[in-house]
Amino acid sequence: RKYVAGGRGKSTARLEGKVAIITGANTGIGKETARDLARRGKWPPAPAGHPCAKVIIACRDIAKAEAAASEIQAETGNQQVIVKRLDLADTKSIREFAEKFLADEKELHILINNAGVMLCPFSKTADGFEMHLGVNHLGHFLLTFLLLERLKQCAPARIVNVSSLAHHGGRIRFHDLHGEKSYNRGLAYCHSKLANVLFTRELARRLQGKKVTVNALHPGSVYSELVRHSFVMTWLWKMFSFFLKTPWEGAQTSVYCAVAEELDSVTGQYFSDCQPAYVSPRGRDDETAKKLWSVSCELLGIQWD
């Protein structure tokens, strides 16, 4: 069990006065990441100058998100755990979320692109993107684009992209990005996780000198709801749960990338078990990263230079 649990972050960094957004934080590792960040403040909060961290839970399922927020508030004493609706499968929802957030909040220090889908039968987002690519990559690509100026204004700031070891099996199929010619839901997930790594690499290059870092990570094999679209995987996950990380264990690298002091100036890297990990050759292909960036902007109808 200790081996399966993997590395654990040791940072005691406090987040008084900081604002963090975590997508998909109503369950699994996202919820555990929100719980950890929410408790990183002074208790009780000082009357002035040392407020607790504000953690925004950005989710599609508001009922689950409210339940998660209430649980975290009760456990940590932090009442600034806020729920905002965000559907990463709909660019209209993403734009509405960003517009409302920027109107309500003047600061943003940590953006954790955590939400994801896995092993979905062939389907498309509201905008016609293949579901894995649309949610796991394009949705977070657009969200980051819309919030980046606020992160720059509040620098030093961090962006954390939850990818996966599965990126090793991925390939950016520019001739069939949306799986209309051939589709395999396992490979579609791998492709989207490779896109996360390439996005991290290219964004880090573009943000050099801006005091906004961006890193990607593999959380490990975690016992969570991510495999819900596959009956076989759900059954296997239950059968072999002893050999899987708990959501708390899976959240350790996300938290590490978000708060560890030694990563203040580290950017464009990929982590697993709270330490640097090997990136596949395709994940280190700068030309593919630049082309994916350009194609992503075109699909989303944005200019991001």
Catalytic residue, chosen from 3, 183, 189, 278, is: 189
Residue 39's DSSP bridge partners are none
Residue 133 lies in a domain: yes
Per-residue pLDDT at 246: 84
Cis peptide before 47 (omega within 30 of 0): no
Residue 73 belongs to a domain = yes
Total domains present in the chain: 1
Helix count (H) and strand count (E) of the chain?
11, 8
Instruction: Annotate 70-132 with DSSP letters as a single string.
Output: HHHHHHH----EEEEE--TT-HHHHHHHHHHHHHH-S---EEEE-----SPPS-B-TTS-BHH
Residue 145 lies in a domain: yes
Per-residue pLDDT reduced to its tens digit, 164-193: 999 999 999 999 999 999 999 999 999 999
- Supply the CATH number for residue 182's domain: 3.40.50.720
**What is the sign, positive or negative, of the torsion defined by CA atoms of 6, 205, 284, 24?**
positive
For tokens 């690499």, the residue is 201
Q: What is the pLDDT of residues 29-88, one digit of tens each?
A: 999 999 999 999 755 554 444 467 999 999 999 999 999 999 999 999 999 999 999 999
Catalytic annotation present for 189: yes
Residue 3 included in any domain: no
169 within some domain? yes
CA atoms of 248 and 268, how far apart (whole Å): 25
Buried b / exposed e along 8-42 (16+ C-beta atoms within 10 A) = ebeeeeebeebbbbbbbbbbbbbbbbbbbbbbbbe
What pLDDT does residue 83 have? 98
Decide if 9 is inside a domain.
no
Answer whether 134's CB lies under 8 Å from 117's CB: no
Q: Is a pLDDT exceeding 50 seen at residue 242? A: no
pLDDT at res. 88: 98
pLDDT value for 184: 95
The DSSP result for 138-206, as a single string, is IIHHHHHHHHHHHHHHT-SEEEEEE--GGGGG----GGGTT-SS---HHHHHHHHHHHHHHHHHHHHHH
Q: Is residue 10 part of a domain?
A: no
Token output for 190: 């791998």
Q: Is residue 36 part of a domain?
A: yes
**Range(s) of the domain holding residue 111:** 19-41+50-300
* Confidence band of 130 (pLDDT split at 50, 70, 90): very high
